Structure 1
Amino acid sequence: MNKITILVLLFFFLLANCQKKSILKNDRVEANNTEKVQTINLNQYTNNTNYFIKTFDVNKDGIKDKIVSHNRYLGDELLLFLGDKSGNYNLALKSTNFSEDGGNQITDIKEAKEGFEIITQFPDRGYLQNAYLVSGINNKFILKKIQSESESWQSGYTEKCSQNINVDLKKSITELSKVIGNTKKKCTKIYNKQSKVRN
């Protein structure tokens, strides 16, 4: 009889613990069928040395916006806050700055004709730079194109590649990586005048 009681108590204990655990899913915490949305505020990042902030009109509505990005080697988080006429900033996008573990790292974010450009570079030997062109028109943040440039000093050429992407930056990192990986690059090699090696 004691064994059955112990097993029943253990079962209810485990069941109660399973129901109390919350599940983190796409920046939302779900617990006991109630949903709380995490609050992300621009003020969290203004004096935080782990991040840098760029200010310009991303969506071309005449109002300055703010882009927050992790600094080099500190992560790949990118947040976009749209400004309004009252001087407030509202979170519109949480995505990636395309920094890679052991690979390219964010170096800059620049204003572009239709939105903004995320620049990453390989921090060690050699030269590899990627520019991710993002459109912000109509408050839709679409990765339109990736332009990359690399040098092969051994073979004496610079290679420039371009990929037309057209994918929403609200997609997960896995989905973005899949689309980028499945999109064909158009590349051109520019040979140094002194180089005799040509493929």
Structure 2
Amino acid sequence: LPQLWTLGYQQCRWSYAPQERVMEIAKAFREKNIPCDTIYLDIDYMDDFRVFTWDKKKFKDPKAFTDELKEMGFKVVTIIDPGVKIDKGYNIYDEGIKNEYFAKDKDGIVYKNRVWPGDSVYPNFMSSKVRSWWAENQKIMIDSGVSGIWNDMNEPASFNGPLPDDVMFDEDGLEVPHKEIHNIYG
């Protein structure tokens, strides 16, 4: 069964930042006695749209921020987009490249496209190793006090239209083209 807080009113929009704005909204709900269980944070909480990061200028201490919201009776849910920013030095990208965790084109080259972070790559979620790696990285958000994850743009989405049918995903040794798995990627 879902947790009770997931069935109550949840405040979500694109987007709330910096944390002071989020706190204003939370306080307004409580001052006006409007029931609300959850506040969602869209992509603006991230550092340059890098998944599993916080923008430290907008959210100086994410754990203290989420703790304060919890004291007010709110749960925090953050968006996670599977488009990983191509950015050498960004640990999620570097780990994924090193371990060959990203989808490839028909020629075996890591497939890239554009989403919110700009040039991005897509995790090969058909692989059990990639699913475990992605799940382990969720701990970054949970440790910062987040109660839930909003998995978005998992079609996978692209600003350049649908992914080509021949983008390849490796299902633990079995090469599968995108056209066969598009609707199960998410």
What TM-score does the superposition give when structure 2 sets the normalisation length? 0.23
Report which of the two has the higher share of strand.
1
**Counting helix residues as a fraction of each chain, which structure ranks higher?**
2
Q: Which one has a bigger Cα radius of gyration?
A: 1
If asked which structure has higher relative contact order (CA below 8 Å, sep 6+), I would say 2
**TM-score, scaled to structure 1:** 0.22
